[in-house]
Structure 1
């Protein structure tokens, strides 16, 4: 018998595969589907956060509660995303040197 033989009903197997949990869903925090929750102690701080949220087009639920400590962790993580670092390409051997000497790169700084 073949190694690829499947015992059971094919239609039941396909339904099981389709109904799995989708871990690669593209829902980002701070959108209408997944708003972030922020707790602030005063109305003045709420106004500051609202201005910051509107500037960066983030959807957030801001609650004012003086009894709880300020919780802006989700907002801080959205605002401090690491930027992609790009490096300058080193010149090829026969191109002009980057130091400005006028020589070829292979004869100057290589």
Structure 2
């Protein structure tokens, strides 16, 4: 039997496509294909959001609705992406210790 044989219902095979996951990594939020949805309470806040969106060259659908609470989660996620953290490499055993004692790392802080 071939390893490529799929046992099961065909309609369940593409189930991830119908759900809300972003399977197309090239489509970024804030572009024409995937605009950001924002709900605000007032026209003044809408003007602020429009200025922020124009400053960062994004595309957003802004809805003014006083009955709903403000929802700017998608916009905040795009604007404040976490940066990759880098750590300093620990010294090798025979390198001088980073504490400044002058001893080898293996005899001092290891």
Q: Same fold by TM (over 0.5)?
A: yes
Structure 2: unaligned runs, 5 residues or longer: 3-13, 18-22
* Alpha-carbon distance between aligned partners in 1 of 2:44 and 2:52, rounded to the nearest angstrom: 13
- The alpha carbon displacement at 1:22 in A equals 8.7
Q: What displacement does 1:104 show?
A: 1.7
- How many pairs are equivalent? 94
Deviation sequence 1:54-75 (CA, Å, 0-9, x none): 3443321212233333221222
RMSD: 2.6
Deviations 1:40-90 (A, max 9, x none): 121221122223323443321212233333221222332343332222110
Matched residue, 2:24:
25
Residue 84 (structure 1) aligns with: 84
Shift of 1:21: 8.2
Question: Does the residue aligned with 1:101 lie in a helix, a strand or coil?
Answer: coil
Q: Could you tell me how far apart the structure 1 residues matched to 2:54 and 2:96 are?
A: 47
What is the Cα deviation at residue 92 of structure 1?
0.7
2:101 corresponding residue in structure 1: 101
Partner SS for 1:77:
helix
Structure 1 residues 1-110: aligned runs within 5 Å: 3-4=1-2, 24-26=23-25, 27-110=27-110
Runs of 4+ in 1 over 6 A off after TM superposition: none
SS across alignment from 2:62: strand
